[in-house]
Amino acid sequence: MTDVASPGPDARSAIYVRGTFVPPSPPPGSTVGPFGWAHKNLFSSPFNIAATILTALFLAWVVPPLLDWLIFDAVWTGENREACLPVDGREVGACWAWVQAKFGQILYGRYPLDQRWRVDLTALLFVAGLVPLAIPKVPYKRENTILMLTAFPVAAFILLYGGFGLPVVETALWGGLLVTLVVAVTGIVASLPLGILLALGRRSKLPIVKTVSVIFIEFWRGVPLITVLFMASVMLPLFLPSGVNFDKLLRALIGVALFSAAYMAETVRGGLQAIPKGQYEAAAAMGLGYWQSMRLVILPQALKIVIPGIVNSFISLFKDTSLVLIIGLFDVLGIIQLNFSDANWSAPTVPATGFVFAAIVFWIFCFGMSRYSQYMERRLETGHRR
């Protein structure tokens, strides 16, 4: 059987020589366009059709009441609990008026009202430093990084805590998003370099460095964060000489940083192990020393591989900041819960509103980190995994 269109004999016969090469042609119409997409992704098989219909039904069942609660039946303005009370049988959804009333506390905790500009200024400096770092096209990355790691922490400390003419605001008064961000950012910034050093240490050929790293990592990974915070807050003062006391927030910061460094170390070690031996050898053969080859060849590749794991750690660290509640510090969630007991605002939907709002705040930050990490992954892809 010979196709008229194809010149030469058929390949199914024993001897075959191709006459002409087949030119490329566009794909058949049914696989492209919106209908093609829907057919392929939503209605390709009986199972897929059933899944599509069930999902649509589920959404129809869940979404309208959710929108009613969040938006249409929600109370947007009000001075006190009266606004959010379900009087005369009216449906009351989320009590956003309460969030509005407590917004200052959710952001700053009990930070003195007339000093809150200091927090705002710190936040402004932070954003002004971070945004140009996060956008790849902006120049002066190195200078900016150095500023953010040296000048900014000092400025932030003076602004937030006090000194140089600014009245001191004890950390016991800090709260809300301020505490969440201080703990999370410090933990994130400290844990990455510390984790990298620990990961390198664990793979070191020097027995002492290796043993110290292993003991450190396994100790901190073996205890729960709550225990760490509790120890830092309750036990540590017992071991310190009387009169010596350092700040509760500072102790929490150190505990969180060391704790997440141990996790970070194992994440980074995973990346280091994924780099082929040939990369180490090529770097060594060119005369690069240990630190040079780590910094220029191994770590850029290893860290890129483990971006998802690193950001995973960041996200879980961000959410774990809520645990500082047990040592008497009030983060976003803590301050929201604290405000449930305000008799002026006692209404049935207030707690639910508070938790939903806290969830939204956490979600925005975590989702932001997640998206940015995916963007970085795509950007750093150099096509060597084809």
Partner 1 sequence: MTNIAAEDLSADRSKMTVGSQVAVEMIGVNKWYGEFHVLRDINLTVRKGERIVICGPSGSGKSTMIRCINRLEEHQKGQIIVDGTELTNDLKKIDEVRREVGMVFQHFNLFPHLTILENCTLAPIWVRKMPKRQAEEAAMEYLAKVRIPEQAHKYPGQLSGGQQQRVAIARSLCMNPKIMLFDEPTSALDPEMVKEVLDVMISLAESGMTMLCVTHEMGFARQVANRVIFMDQGQIVEQNDPEAFFTNPQHERTRLFLSQILH
**In this complex, which beta carbon is closest to partner 1, that of residue 159 or of residue 268?**
268
Q: How is residue 14 written in tokens?
A: 């024993």
Report the nearest approach of partner 1 to the CB of residue 300 (Å).
5
- The neighbouring-strand residues paired with 331 are 176
Report the nearest approach of partner 1 to the CB of residue 256 (Å).
31
Q: Which of 7, 136, 193, 300 binds partner 1 (CB under 8 A)?
A: 300
- What is the distance between the alpha carbons of residues 83 and 79, in angstroms, rounded to a whole number? 7
Of 58-66, 176-184, 248-256, 376-384, the window that binds partner 1 (rule: CB under 8 A) is: 376-384
Amino acid, single-letter form, for residue 215: I
- What is the distance between the alpha carbons of residues 29 and 24, in angstroms, rounded to a whole number? 15
Report the nearest approach of partner 1 to the CB of residue 140 (Å).
18
Report the nearest approach of partner 1 to the CB of residue 279 (Å).
6
Report the nearest approach of partner 1 to the CB of residue 288 (Å).
6
Would you mind telling me the total number of residues written for the chain in this entry? Answer: 386
Distinct helix (H) and strand (E) counts, the chain: 17, 0
Amino acid, single-letter form, for residue 120: D
Q: Which of 101, 190, 297, 311 binds partner 1 (CB under 8 A)?
A: 297
Task: Establish if 301 lies at the interface with partner 1 (CB under 8 A).
Answer: yes
- What is the distance between the alpha carbons of residues 259 and 253, in angstroms, rounded to a whole number? 10
Nearest to 94 by CA among 117, 71, 110, 111: 71
Q: Considering only residues 232-291, where is the footprint of partner 1 by CB under 8 A? A: 276, 278-279, 281-289
Amino acid, single-letter form, for residue 124: L
**In this complex, which beta carbon is closest to partner 1, that of residue 73 or of residue 377?**
377
**In this complex, which beta carbon is closest to partner 1, that of residue 289 or of residue 328?**
289
Q: Which of 20, 77, 341, 382 binds partner 1 (CB under 8 A)?
A: 382
Q: How is residue 20 written in tokens?
A: 């002409």
Q: Look at phi and psi of residue 286 and say left if phi exceeds 0, alpha if psi is from -120 to 50, else beta.
A: alpha
Report the nearest approach of partner 1 to the CB of residue 343 (Å).
60
Residue 136 dihedral angles phi and psi, to the nearest 5°: -55, -30
- What is the distance between the alpha carbons of residues 294 and 301, in angstroms, rounded to a whole number? 10
Task: Establish if 308 lies at the interface with partner 1 (CB under 8 A).
Answer: no
**In this complex, which beta carbon is closest to partner 1, that of residue 33 or of residue 136?**
136
Identify the sign of the CA torsion 235, 238, 241, 247: positive
**In this complex, which beta carbon is closest to partner 1, that of residue 165 or of residue 276?**
276
Report the nearest approach of partner 1 to the CB of residue 381 (Å).
9
Task: Establish if 64 lies at the interface with partner 1 (CB under 8 A).
Answer: no
Residues near partner 1 (CB under 8 A): 276, 278-279, 281-289, 292, 296-297, 300-301, 304, 380, 382-386
